[in-house]
A = this chain, B = another copy of it.
Amino acid sequence: MRIVNLTKEATENILENLLKRSPNNYGDFEGSVAEIVANVRKNKDEAIFEYSKKFDGADINADNILVTEEEIKEAYEKVDETLLNVMRKALVNIRSYHEKQKQNSWIATEDNGAILGQKVTPLQRVGVYVPGGKAVYPSSVLMNIVPAKVAGVDEIIMTTPPGRDGKVNPSTLVAAKEAGADKIYKVGGAQAIAALAFGTESIPKVDKIVGPGNIYVALAKKAVFGYVSIDSIAGPSEILVLADETANARYVAADLLSQAEHDEMASAILVTTSQKLAEEVSKEVDGFVAELSRKEIIQKSLDQFGYILVADDMETAVATANEIAPEHLEIITVNPFETMTKIRNAGAIFLGEYSSEPLGDYFAGPNHVLPTNGTAKFFSPLGVDAFVKKSSIISYSREALQPIYRDIVQFAECEQLTAHANSIRVRFEDKKN
């Protein structure tokens, strides 16, 4: 794995290279996605059944689009008991962490009868998109559904593309059932997103759509944003390990590879103050890669977006981490909590040498749906917040309004909004005034 000295120039080049991972070919697909969305909006079920035939080769209709209790029972029979048990253990942790994120409604009162507050209300109906295809990630099903469930969403609708046989992958179904999906529909791609956004005869309209997907799904989500809410659009995965000379090179190497294996666009970066660690990690990486089942993907990812960066001091190393704003940040330094205080931008922060990144992917409890590609500068992990919305509360007595009513009238009149002024004045001044 390449080792680079961390100069200002090197950082800039690397940042530029990493940003190349953003899909630039959106334009090529926007037309066809717009067409699918418009068609589903207009022709509803008829359109989605046609697309399921065309894109998934599946014969879906109003009678079989909804996954039945029987199909779920079959799925349970097919899924390995060990996986089911692990899922259930993970669910306990995921629920417990997200419970801690819940925010209460609040009010603040004053003696004169003024009350201000904020009401927190769960969204009513949410759509969770789950991709189909060969790669099946039941952990992702759990991570998308649990925060909605904990937030108190009334109805969680899942959609996922069917196979040619009209069936859904059993692990996906079992994960959905365990996490608490209320209904599961067999439809995928941009047509699923449009169906969730506008509703069809079979599929009810939702308030928000979350979940990963290919470029069609991502563009469809962007297209329906505003009609419904969406989560952010996920990019390729990344890990940045921030380490000093106290880190175990073998652990660091293994952790870098855990993200590099995701896909060829994934990025794995070590930033360290130790030249010795840099060299050892580089060697350990080479050793591991040869043994791993996904070595082709890993090698391409490392060649394109893998770096071992050697910094003069921890301050520079931290600044680089903040500039890259990685999805996953591991801190393996002599005092990781102290280092953490200087971190501004990261999706999830893993502290110390036993907090390996996959612990967060599967088990610890925090969400693994995290901001990618530098967006940790302004986006947050998926969480309970994403499934509630707030309303301000304002209640003033006559006694509270009286002493300030002229101020409001004045402000409104300065903005030339005389009907605003009138609505306050009418409560205190005579009709004839």
* Leading 7 A-B pairs by shortest Cβ distance: A366-B392, A351-B395, A261-B419, A229-B378, A254-B423, A380-B390, A348-B392
- List, sorted by A's number, 7 A–B pairs whose CB atoms are closer than 8 Å: A229-B379, A251-B423, A258-B423, A261-B420, A355-B401, A361-B412, A362-B411
Residues of B within 8 A of A380 (CB): 389-391
Q: Are B356 and A423 in contact (CB under 8 A)?
A: yes
Chain A window 311-343, contacts with chain B (Cβ cutoff 8 Å), 1 for yes, 0 for no:
000000000000000000000000011001001
Stretch from A7-15, A39-47, A50-58, A131-139 at the B interface: A131-139
Q: For the complex formed, measure the closest distance between the CB of A392 and the CB atoms of chain B, giving whole angstroms.
A: 4
Is A73 at the interface (CB under 8 A from chain B)?
A: no
Known: A222-B225, A258-B417. 6 other contacts (CB 8 A): A86-B410, A116-B364, A121-B344, A124-B377, A258-B420, A358-B408
Q: Are A354 and B83 in contact (CB under 8 A)?
A: no
Bound CA span A288–B106, Å: 37
Bound CA span A359–B113, Å: 14
Q: For the complex formed, measure the closest distance between the CB of A332 and the CB atoms of chain B, giving whole angstroms.
A: 11
Q: Quick one: closest B residue to A380, CB to CB?
A: B390
Q: For the complex formed, measure the closest distance between the CB of A249 and the CB atoms of chain B, giving whole angstroms.
A: 11
Bound CA span A15–B231, Å: 26
Residues of B within 8 A of A345 (CB): 121, 391
Stretch from A62-70, A96-104, A273-281 at the B interface: A96-104
Known: A123-B378, A419-B292. A426 touches B250 (CB 8 A): yes
Bound CA span A23–B100, Å: 40
Chain A window 59-87, contacts with chain B (Cβ cutoff 8 Å), 1 for yes, 0 for no:
00000000000000000000010110011
Q: Are A355 and B414 in contact (CB under 8 A)?
A: no
Is A228 at the interface (CB under 8 A from chain B)?
A: yes
Q: Are B261 and A417 in contact (CB under 8 A)?
A: yes
Is A365 at the interface (CB under 8 A from chain B)?
A: yes
Bound CA span A118–B364, Å: 13
Q: Are A381 and B390 in contact (CB under 8 A)?
A: yes
- Count of chain A residues with a beta carbon within 8 Å of a chain B beta carbon: 122
User: Of residues A100, A390, A404, which shows the largest number of chain B Cβ atoms within 10 Å of its Cβ?
Assistant: A390
Q: For the complex formed, measure the closest distance between the CB of A115 and the CB atoms of chain B, giving whole angstroms.
A: 7
Bound CA span A346–B357, Å: 40
Residues of B within 8 A of A164 (CB): none
Within the complex, which residue of B171, B370, B385, B389 is in contact with A414, where a contact is CB–CB below 8 Å? B171
Bound CA span A227–B327, Å: 15
Q: Are A407 and B228 in contact (CB under 8 A)?
A: no
Within the complex, which residue of B136, B347, B356 is in contact with A391, where a contact is CB–CB below 8 Å? B347
Residues of B within 8 A of A89 (CB): 404, 407
Residues of B within 8 A of A90 (CB): 407, 411
Bound CA span A337–B407, Å: 27
Is A415 at the interface (CB under 8 A from chain B)?
A: yes
Q: Quick one: closest B residue to A348, CB to CB?
A: B392
Known: A207-B378, A226-B233, A415-B138. A352 touches B395 (CB 8 A): yes
User: Of residues A115, A138, A344, which shows the largest number of chain B Cβ atoms within 10 Å of its Cβ?
Assistant: A344
Q: Are B257 and A364 in contact (CB under 8 A)?
A: no
Q: Are B292 and A393 in contact (CB under 8 A)?
A: no
Known: A396-B355, A419-B292, A422-B292. A410 touches B82 (CB 8 A): yes
Q: Are A395 and B124 in contact (CB under 8 A)?
A: no
Is A367 at the interface (CB under 8 A from chain B)?
A: yes
Residues of B within 8 A of A80 (CB): 414
Q: Are B397 and A354 in contact (CB under 8 A)?
A: yes
Q: For the complex formed, measure the closest distance between the CB of A400 and the CB atoms of chain B, giving whole angstroms.
A: 7
Q: Are B101 and A418 in contact (CB under 8 A)?
A: no
Within the complex, which residue of B257, B363, B393, B398 is in contact with A407, where a contact is CB–CB below 8 Å? B363
Known: A392-B349, A412-B362, A415-B136. A288 touches B344 (CB 8 A): no
